[in-house]
Amino acid sequence: MRFSRAHPKKTGTCAGTGGRPLKVPDALRMDAEFQMTEFSPIPFLVGTRGSALALVQADATEAALAAAFPELRLERKIIKTTGDRRTDVSLAEVAKAEGTFDKGVFIKELESALDDGSIDIAVHSLKDLPTVLDARFALATVLERAPVRDVLVTRSADGIAGLAPGARVGTSSVRRARQVSFLRPDLTVTDLRGNVPTRLEKLATGENHDAILLAEAGLVRLGFLTESSAAGLPEPITSMPGLFATRLPEHEFFPAAGQGAIGIEIRAGDARSRVISEAIGHSDTWLRVTAEREFLRLLDAGCHTPVGVYSSLENGTLHLKARVFPESEGDPKTGEATGTDPYLTALELFQSLQ
């Protein structure tokens, strides 16, 4: 059986470890294409976490692969990560206790599976992936980005204005926690772990929280919110009576670098996986997240650093804004930059912080 390939969207060149983009050498690319045409029975192994959101993201990845390569045989491997196992303490404490701070608590086991050949690609929420990867691995591509905003979920339709002083806002993100305290210092931030449905259920029952913060992308992908709606207007959460969502404008509540994007990680030298992955990439999303992640790299910031950054892309021009909190207490620095090269624009943003 010949291995046929559909016509995918045009993609940009993909980078792996935070430096300039890596190109697959022509010889390796030709060898990878030969493998795909002559050995189609070889399965392509997709690794993912087992949470509801991770599985939806794996579904999206596999659908894109099937559309680009109709005869590609896909197999899914569900892998439980350190972050999935330890839900009893905060993510920062999990990272320190497990010695995975620099690798990310949601990727260690997926990378181990990549390394030993158990999977060919690892599907990640890009915001969980460290900006600098081990030399054995590379970020091959990203899918088209979902909405990037953060969402405040409450038990009243009054949104953030309806939260009384001292109200408890649950989140596991230090970035969200610091921004809540900065914008509404009268609120109390509490730690909240668990997958998206579990967090919504905890809020619905009034368990320790008056409001919670979640990513808009996850709520949309899981069907709790519609794809498009204006920011700032409370709306009901689908299938969760009594809960209301307020999408927070990104120029007021800065999202995480890479938020809303699905990233595909591969073995750095695996030309077959790179060629297949690049075929489903989205070039505009790649430019934006490359700039955002390069900014984090320049800051030497990790997944648990309180940094908010967002981008827009119009007619090939990038616009970046950032809010960077100190590790300890204090007001944030902000910056802004515009340009066409994601690396130079990230550098300009870094230099503009004040």
pLDDT, tens digit, 9 for 90 and up, residues 293-307: 999 999 986 556 799
CB atoms within 10 A of CB 224: 22
Mean pLDDT, to the nearest integer, of 118-136?
A: 94
Q: What is the model's pLDDT at position 194?
A: 85
Catalytic residue numbers, as ranges: 128
Query: 3-class SS at 34?
Result: helix
Q: Which region among 208-217, 269-278, 296-305, 329-338 has the lowest average model confidence (pLDDT)?
A: 296-305
What confidence category does residue 92 fall into, taking pLDDT thresholds of 50, 70 and 90?
A: low
- The CATH code that applies to domain 26-146+261-281 is 3.40.190.10
Residue limits of CATH 3.40.190.10 in the chain: 26-146+261-281, 150-248
Q: What is the model's pLDDT at position 271?
A: 96
Q: Distance between CA 285 and CA 293 in Å, rounded?
A: 12
What confidence category does residue 40 fall into, taking pLDDT thresholds of 50, 70 and 90?
A: low
Q: What is the model's pLDDT at position 302?
A: 59
What confidence category does residue 312 fall into, taking pLDDT thresholds of 50, 70 and 90?
A: very high
Query: 3-class SS at 20?
Result: coil
Q: What residues contact 212, with CB distance under 8 A and at least 6 apart?
A: 152, 153, 169, 170, 171, 192, 199, 200, 202, 203
Q: Distance between CA 42 and CA 264 in Å, rounded?
A: 19
Q: Which region among 10-19, 28-37, 39-48, 68-77 has the lowest average model confidence (pLDDT)?
A: 10-19
- The CATH code that applies to domain 150-248 is 3.40.190.10
pTM summary value: 0.84
Q: What is the model's pLDDT at position 5?
A: 43
